[in-house]
Every structure is written in C-alpha cells, then in structure tokens.
C-alpha cells in the first residue's frame, strides 16, 4: 500500500501512528445524498481546501477523511452527533453510510474530537476508489 498522495507537497509525517483497520471494524461517514458517490470520499485537500496550510496537524487533517468507528453500543450517539451537525450545516447531507474497508483501502488513526471519542482520520491509499468500501447500509438521519 502506498501513500504518495498523502506525503506529497509537505514534510509532515501524517501516517505516524496510523494502522490498517481490522476486517471486522465498522465505520460511519456522512453522505451528501442517499447514493454513495466519489465525492463522499473526497478529502478537503482534493477539493482545494487547506492547500495553503503550513502547520502539519492542519495539513494532515485536510488530507484525511473524517469517519467514526462504530459499534452497537455507540452507534446512536454518533447519529445524534450527525443530526446536530446537520442542523448547523444541512449542505453536508442527511444520510449516513455504515461500511467496512477492504484490504488496501488505507490507514486510520484515532482522532477524538469534543464529545466524539469514536472519531478517526482515514488516510486513503494511492489506489483507493469506492471499490475498497464495503457498504453495510445507508441510513437517513435527517
């Protein structure tokens, strides 16, 4: 698995402390629409956002995707967080993809945010495309 796209254009070690997700790990990600599309797994950096950043923490955040590792015990808490963020910014979409990653998709790092310990940053491998995502379900939360 290579990560030239993650490593290019800066001297930051974004992949330090990352790990390959286990096959049984299940994640959630907000979707813009009910149908999964390439844009749903496009980073801010790929959309031209944050490309002028100089601080490594910011650069790495812009080159990663926000996902939440889920389990039956915390899934409803994550949905409630998504509902709250939807009220703040409805353009982000009112659907959620529950998924697993196939081997070679990329690496993740635990990156908790305020009130959301399940948050992770997902760094896509150079070969990543939607074929590396194994959808479990798509749910509407708004």
In a domain, 128, yes or no: yes
Residue-level pLDDT at 126: 97
pLDDT at 55 over 90: yes
In the three-class reduction of DSSP (H, G, I as helix; E, B as strand; rest coil), residue 21 is classed as coil
Residue-level pLDDT at 76: 87
pTM of the prediction?
0.92
Q: How far is CA 85 from CA 10, 28, 103, in A?
A: 31, 14, 30
What average pLDDT is seen over the chain?
Answer: 92
Question: Using one digit for the tens of pLDDT, what is the confidence trace for 65-86?
Answer: 999 999 999 888 888 888 887 7
User: In the chain, which ranges are continuous DSSP H helix?
Assistant: 4-7, 56-62, 75-88
Residue 110 sits in which domain range? 24-36+67-140
Tell me how many domains the chain contains: 1
């Amino acid at each position: 698995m290579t990560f030239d796209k993650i490593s290019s254009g800066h001297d930051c070690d974004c992949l330090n402390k990352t790990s390959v997700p286990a096959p049984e790990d299940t994640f959630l990600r907000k979707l813009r629409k009910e149908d999964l599309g390439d844009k749903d797994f496009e980073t801010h950096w790929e959309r031209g956002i944050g490309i002028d950043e100089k601080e490594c923490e910011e650069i790495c955040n812009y080159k990663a995707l926000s996902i939440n590792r889920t389990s039956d015990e915390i899934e409803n808490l994550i949905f409630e967080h998504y509902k709250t963020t939807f009220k703040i910014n409805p353009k982000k979409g009112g659907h959620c993809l529950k998924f697993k990653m196939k081997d070679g998709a990329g690496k993740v790092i635990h990156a908790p945010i305020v009130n959301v310990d399940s948050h992770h940053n997902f760094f896509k491998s150079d070969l990543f495309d939607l074929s590396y995502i194994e959808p479990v379900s798509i749910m509407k939360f708004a």
